[in-house]
Amino acid sequence: MPAHNNDHVSMAVWCPLIPPEELDRFTEWSEDLRNISQAYEDWLSSMRGKSFVGTDIGVLLDRIRILMINIGIACAMNRALAESVQTVISEYLRVRALSMIEALSGDSKEKIAVKETLTAFFSDLRFTRDIFPEEDVKGVIPIMVSLSSDSSHGLLGRFLGSKSKRANVDQEKTLQAALIEGSNILKKLYMRLLSPDPWGTY
């Protein structure tokens, strides 16, 4: 379809992997975007048959990293563009992950510790890197967390008023819980990437 100057997003540069509101940044690289779209389709084909059974945080990150690698290969002659696209996708994935973490319950010191751990982990996560998730998650577990009296004592805390106190964090329990919850978050991100509209609001 020919491009029209008055189109907000020209179909000539459409790429389903890139969030629509970001496409205008890449309009001059229509051929590269077609290559990225093809790389995305190839990745979708290779991933759709893979099982979720036994997929931990490391496996899911590897699958997303493969997509990032494919983007780099698709734009082999335009490294700057490949890195820009990878950065945009990573940032959108990160924002979604942090939004999910924010929605998690924090009504106990254990849950607060998991939320703080995952927030630190995903805030610094580079989806293009090969990492050791368990080590990276373990490295950001807080030593202590702030706990208000209303979250630790229920109704009694509400009557007495919210008073913050510090509580020690069980490092091993927090690690295991954070790995499980982090895997759940990544599964949702991964499933959205597999969907027809990865950046929709549904």
> CB 168: neighbour CB atoms within 10 A?
11
Q: Count how many domains the chain has.
A: 1
CB contact at 8 A, 18 and 26: yes
Structural domain includes residue 2: no
Q: How far apart are CA 137 and CA 178, in angstroms?
A: 8
How confident is the model at residue 53, as a pLDDT? Answer: 80
Structural domain includes residue 157: yes
Structural domain includes residue 77: yes
Length in residues, the chain? 202
Structural domain includes residue 4: no
Structural domain includes residue 93: yes
The answer for residues whose C-beta is within 8 angstroms of residue 29's C-beta and 6 or more apart is 13, 78, 81
Domain residues for the domain of 93 are 18-192
How confident is the model at residue 51, as a pLDDT? Answer: 86
How confident is the model at residue 202, as a pLDDT? Answer: 61
Structural domain includes residue 119: yes
Structural domain includes residue 147: yes
Q: What is the pTM of this model?
A: 0.84
Range among 110-124, 134-148, 151-165 rated most confident = 110-124
Share of the chain above pLDDT 90, in %: 72
How confident is the model at residue 201, as a pLDDT? Answer: 77
